[in-house]
Amino acid sequence: MCGRTACTLASDEVSRACSYRDRGGQRRQPRWRDGDADKYRPSYNKSPQSTSPVLLSQRHFDRNAPVDECVLASMRWGLVPAWFKENDPSKMAYSTNNCRSENIMEKKTYKDPLIKGQRCVILADGFYEWKRQAREKQPFFIYFPQTEGTGREKTDDDEEEDDPATSADNKENSETTCPPEEASADLTEGGEAPDEWTGWKLLTMAGLFDCWTPPGGGEPLYTYSVITVNASLNLESIHDRMPAVLDGEEEVRRWLNFGEVKSQDAIKLLQSKNSLTFHPVSSLVNNSRNNSPECLQPVDPNSKKEPKPTASSKMMMSWLASSEPSKRKEPAACESKEERDGEAEAQKTGLLHQWLQGAKKKPRTK
């Protein structure tokens, strides 16, 4: 299952982080739908019913758009089917946060959007999952391995902490939505690669979306469901399910291209993949109201004490406190309290990768 995520990049960084090549070989950054960039709120602890960045084909909104053009939208987590008759979407009688890939053609809620080609990619820094241990549950943060070339520049301290085993795993999983070696192909007049993203590699999860309009009229509501599959070998010790991860630009392209890739072929992309890494985190994340960098901090699961602030966390909080409030977005009137509380921390460039890569404790991998 997938019941909690984190997405800490600012809206412009999300666009840069999921750039893609069009059919002409030119690298492009997807734009946000009108007004949707303002609806998006970065967060270290996103729960169902919150709004997340979603990548999808522009043809869902403009039939004349190029077949390969992508667009970013803000959608609410928890699919509300177009045929839902109640005036209040919260009256859904069952959970639609996740959709099992095995049953995707058996339930009308998911079958209809799939047949219509309403496929999307949910973007996140990573997701949380809980492992049952005796009477308690240990939370883990799960994400794509961050390879050399992403995040901040490497320092001498980093080299001392390098683990040959995990480095080898990272190289094996180095294909990203925007591979550095590919991004350098399109050069500016000055010979520099335009808008090359070297920050956090976003997790790309396959999903379905639908558009519901209140029976009495009103603004359409776009919502999504995360498709899940059996857990991969390296994650099954934590939980028996995982999101269907699209690993690499080609898989993302095929999932979104509903015009050329039919549903039966797209479903074949929904496979368990051994391409994720993870580390244990604090029980702070158990409460969705907790929305701070500490939610992502690697901890020692054998210690019952809450982790003490590290030098990296102190430096980060000092940096955030000194940032200019005028550069932060004003919270929307309908914004939830937990989203407002964490927005300021999440606005800064590359907070997550600086936090994790600069931490003294190394993430655990299998």
Does residue 366 lie within any of the structural domains?
no
d(CA 162, CA 228): 32
Question: What average pLDDT does range 109-115 have in this prediction?
Answer: 96
Q: Is 365 domain-assigned?
A: no
Q: What's the chain's average pLDDT?
A: 78
> Which residues are identified as catalytic?
2, 129
198 or 164: which leads in pLDDT: 198
Structural domain that includes position 70: 5-358
pLDDT digits 0-9 by tens, 17-74? 999 988 888 899 999 999 999 999 999 999 999 999 999 999 999 999 998 899 999 9
Query: CATH number of the domain that 335 lies in?
Result: 3.90.1680.10
**Strand extents, DSSP E, the chain:** 5-7, 20-21, 27-28, 31-32, 43-46, 51-57, 70-77, 98-100, 119-124, 126-133, 136-143, 203-212, 221-230, 241-243, 277-280
CA distance 64 to 251: 23
**Token pair belonging to 186:** 């399109």
Q: What pLDDT, on the 0 to 100 scale, is given for residue 81?
A: 96
pLDDT at 361: 40
Domain count, the chain: 1
The answer to pTM > 0.85 is no
- How far is Cα 356 from Cα 325, in angstroms, rounded to an integer? 24
The verdict on residue 179 lying in a domain is yes
pLDDT exceeds 50 at position 134 = yes
Of the pLDDT bands very low, low, confident and very high (cuts 50, 70, 90), residue 290 is very high
Q: Per DSSP, what are the bridge partners of residue 280?
A: 140
Q: Is residue 162 part of a domain?
A: yes
> Between the CA of residue 189 and those of 88, 186, 192, 194, what are the distances in Å?
54, 10, 8, 10
Report yes or no on 107 lying in a domain: yes
pLDDT of 365 > 50? The answer is no
In a domain? residue 363: no
Confidence check: pLDDT of 137 > 60: yes
Helices within 116-245 (DSSP H only) = 156-161, 164-172, 180-183
- What is residue 344's predicted lDDT score, i.e. its pLDDT? 44
- Does the pLDDT of residue 176 top 50, yes or no? no
Q: Which of 154-158, 179-183, 314-318 has the lowest mean pLDDT?
A: 179-183
Is 181 a domain residue?
yes
Asked whether residue 240 is domain-assigned, the answer is: yes
